[in-house]
Amino acid sequence: MLPKIDLPLFELILPSSKETIKYRPFTVKEEKILLVAAESDDVSQQITAIKQVVSNCCFEIDATKLPMFDLEYLLLTLRSRSVDNGITFNILDPDTEEKVSLELDLDKVQLTTDKDHTNEVKINDDYILYLKYPTIDEFLKITTFTADDPLASYFIMISCLDKVASADEVFEFKNYTENEVNQFMEDVSGDVVKGIQRFFETMPKLRHEMHYKNNNGDDKTFVVEGIRSFFS
């Protein structure tokens, strides 16, 4: 029988919870999973690949319950530790349509958070709505909607509802039926909806700006952001 190769263990801190977790570098098995997902050019398959790779390599966490930005951060760290921190890819300049080769240093990609980000939305003087980050399975559900489907934005809002609390009472949405949650949403004001939208707009995300000159000599900026950057 061939020997089993022991892999080194490392630690990192999850951005959302500040919890320290252990992980191992990914192997050829995980590289194949990511390669197949990249070749498919299918967002849902790429999200599933992230979940599978993180589940394989990280210990004592449930990948299905992590916010999407945690999973992206984990994959970024795994890729940098397992292979190298450089990714070379091509883009098309929007003005000249020339092909531009860019080299991304993964160690420079940082998780950014808006200073005004909050998970609390005031309903009235008595109640506050508390929001949570959608999980990867909820993002997978979102990919089944078409871009112009009005139900998509509604599903996104529903997926982030955590609880409503006053000084004396706490109501957790997981304890209520879909009809009861829908009725609650129908009764909230436009300001509450704007607060939920703001929660998503300011949510932590991986983001990095890359600068280059095009053939016209213009200084241009290309922004690397979100799940697609992992499959360049």
Question: Distance (Å, rounded) from C-alpha 101 to C-alpha 47?
Answer: 25
Do 91 and 193 lie in a common domain? no
In the chain, the amino acid numbered 173 is: F
Express each pLDDT in 90-110 by its tens digit.
889 989 999 999 888 888 888
Residue 41 covered by a domain:
yes
Average pLDDT rounded to a whole number, residues 1-10: 81
Q: Which pTM value belongs to this model?
A: 0.78
Do 25 and 57 lie in a common domain? yes
pLDDT value of residue 208:
85
Given a cut of 90, whether residue 182 has pLDDT beyond it is yes
Express each pLDDT in 16-68 by its tens digit.
888 999 999 988 899 899 888 888 878 788 888 888 999 999 998 898 888 88
Given a cut of 80, whether residue 84 has pLDDT beyond it is no
pLDDT value of residue 231:
59
Residue 5 covered by a domain:
no
Q: Domains in the chain: how many in total?
A: 2
Give Cα 87 distance to the centre of its chain.
Answer: 19
Do 25 and 89 lie in a common domain? yes
pLDDT value of residue 232:
53
Sheet (strand 110-112) strand order: 110-112, 205-213, 219-225
Residue 176 covered by a domain:
yes
Average pLDDT rounded to a whole number, residues 152-163: 88
Residue 78 exposed, middle or buried by CB count within 10 Å (0-12, 13-18, 19+): buried
pLDDT value of residue 150:
74
Given a cut of 70, whether residue 230 has pLDDT beyond it is no
pLDDT value of residue 164:
97
Terminal C-alpha separation, the chain: 38
Containing structural domain, residue 104: 10-112+204-231
Given a cut of 90, whether residue 131 has pLDDT beyond it is yes
In the chain, the amino acid numbered 121 is: V
- 53 vs 139, residue with greater confidence: 53
**Which residue has 């990511």 as its token pair?**
34
Express each pLDDT in 188-211 by its tens digit.
999 999 999 999 889 888 888 889
